Amino acid sequence: MSSPEKVFRDALGALNILKYDDAERLFKKFLKSQPRHVGALNLLTIVLMRMQRFAEAEEFIAKAVKLNQGSDVSFYNYGIILKALDKPERALEQFTNALRLNSKEAETWNNRGTIYNDLKQHEKAIGDFDQAISLSPGYAGAVANKGKSLSEIKLYAEALTAYDKALSLKPDLAEAWLGRGKVFVELERCDDAVAAYDQAISFKPDLAEAWLGRGSALFELKRHREALAAFDRTISLKPDLTEAWFGRGSAVANLKRYDEAVAAYDKALSFKPDLAEAWLGRGNAAANLKRYDEAVASYDNALSLKPDLAAAWLGRGNAVAGIKHHDDAFIAYDRALSLNPELAEAWLGRGNAFVNLKRYDDAFAAYDKALLLKPDLADVWLCRGNVLLDLKRHGEALNAYNKALSLDSGLAKAWLGCGNVLLALKQYAEAIFACDKALSLEPDLFALEGVRMSCKMLLCDWSNFETE
């Protein structure tokens, strides 16, 4: 039978050659005979930490520090374990204990600073990072972490300076490139943000946070397909990341893949049921699918979480208008405008509700208000054109549709409106062109074929009749 001393030596030897399973087994065997051996408790803790088994490691480091209150290394390791277990308040206590014993370790100051960041105590975090940097001026990680603190308190210029300093010390520090990306997003420099995230990814291809940031920046640039690819990559790395599923929902919604959007928002909500913005996005997607009752339920969930979410009141107004509940629509639009008087889309909604009540003067007044706030809102010009067409004011209608198309040439319903006006004006060839354009953009657009066929009949143009 091996002596305890031999078991300890064998365990230490296994640790030195990175045979962690053997080291764990042997240290545990040794501790059965000598359960108060502080060295073995600390070494077993290190073995378990290297195996990423932090919850088990906590049991042994707690015993070690109880037996020996004089080791800053033990308190430091305890802090690292608690940080990994997402117990920041207790981690802070242990790092502070380590610094009480030894205030000359830059790594300890840096790690305590990251805990202060986690606890949103950013000024204290900056103080700790400065201590780490004073002890080790070339410590790129501490400089980058200081950049994060500065970014959190919106000192963006200073944050960029810190990140630049970190990268001058360590050009391949992915976390510094990641931080630069986040600052550029806050500064609305999304092209620069994408470039920074790409640098982070080049050094750490599996850095999920960089892929997520890249997706968000691309989304802001309206590069929705690229954003979707980035969000999907994020999900492949971290399948339970709420923000990635939310981003995916937003990207596919903008690509008009609304069923996928609902599914993505549902996934996000399965991880975070109180995410009001996901309920809002879900409501918008359901409304676009004309599932208005479902949309209203989603908006109501959003509003139960954030009663002052103007966009949810706007969506609710649009959804109840879709099921002809005009009084409820006005209530929702008015609530949205009470929260955000500059919300042009709510004035557009009010205008559409007035149209349904055939109160055309009131509708035009609402549209005018929307355009005063947002002159480039193509949908207002589209709706204005539709009303003018119904009133047989064809010249004005055509001008409105053309204005809509000058703002958004991919607006299929505006091309259809042009087709209807041109048909009424007996400009049949031009009407066919407009309808063909609408059809190329939205093949399932209702009523297109009727307008096209009427034009062809009136032109007596039966070419390609068999194929059509």
Q: What is the pLDDT of residue 16?
A: 93
Residue type, 116: Y
164 neighbors 132 (Cβ within 8 angstroms): no
Listed in sequence order, the residues at least 6 apart from 325 whose beta carbon sits closer than 8 Å to its beta carbon are: none
Q: What is the mean pLDDT of the chain?
A: 93
- Collapsing DSSP states into helix, strand and coil, what is residue 44? helix
Start-to-end C-alpha separation, the chain: 91
Q: What is the pLDDT of residue 431?
A: 87
Tokens of 419: 């087709």
DSSP state of 53: -
Q: What is the pLDDT of residue 439?
A: 84
What is the total residue count of the chain?
468
Q: What is the pLDDT of residue 442?
A: 84
Q: What is the pLDDT of residue 201?
A: 98
Cα separation, 134 vs 154, whole angstroms = 24
Q: What is the pLDDT of residue 342?
A: 94
**Structural domains of the chain, with CATH:** 376-468 (1.25.40.10)
Distance of CA 151 to the CA centre of its chain: 18
- Collapsing DSSP states into helix, strand and coil, what is residue 135? helix
Cα separation, 315 vs 55, whole angstroms = 45
Q: What is the pLDDT of residue 465?
A: 46
- Collapsing DSSP states into helix, strand and coil, what is residue 153? coil
Cα separation, 339 vs 310, whole angstroms = 6
Tokens of 164: 């630049």
Cα separation, 139 vs 203, whole angstroms = 18
Q: What is the pLDDT of residue 19?
A: 95
Q: How far is CA 437 from CA 13, 228, 303, 400, in A?
A: 76, 27, 39, 17
- DSSP string for 70-128: T-HHHHHHHHHHHHHTT-HHHHHHHHHHHHHH-TT-HHHHHHHHHHHHHTT-HHHHHHH
- Collapsing DSSP states into helix, strand and coil, what is residue 155? coil
pTM of the model: 0.84
Q: What is the pLDDT of residue 443?
A: 79
Question: What angle in degrees, to the nearest 10, is found between the helix axes of 140-152 and 106-118?
Answer: 20
Residue that has been written with the tokens 């087709």 in this structure: 419
DSSP state of 362: H
Return phi, psi of residue 402, to 5°.
-65, -35
Residue 1 class from Cβ within 10 Å (0-12 exposed, 13-18 middle, 19+ buried)? Answer: exposed
Low-confidence ranges of the chain (pLDDT < 70): 1, 445-468
What value does the CA radius of gyration of the chain take, rounded to a whole number of Å?
A: 31
Cα separation, 271 vs 134, whole angstroms = 42
Count CA atoms closer than 13 A to 290's CA, side-chain side: 1
382 neighbors 348 (Cβ within 8 angstroms): no
Q: Which of 254, 305, 310 is nearest to 279 (CA)?
A: 305
Residue that has been written with the tokens 């809509």 in this structure: 404
Q: What is the pLDDT of residue 22?
A: 94
Interval 446-456: pLDDT, tens: 555 566 566 55
Q: What is the pLDDT of residue 436?
A: 86
DSSP state of 250: H
Q: What is the pLDDT of residue 171?
A: 97
Longest dimension (CA), the chain: 105
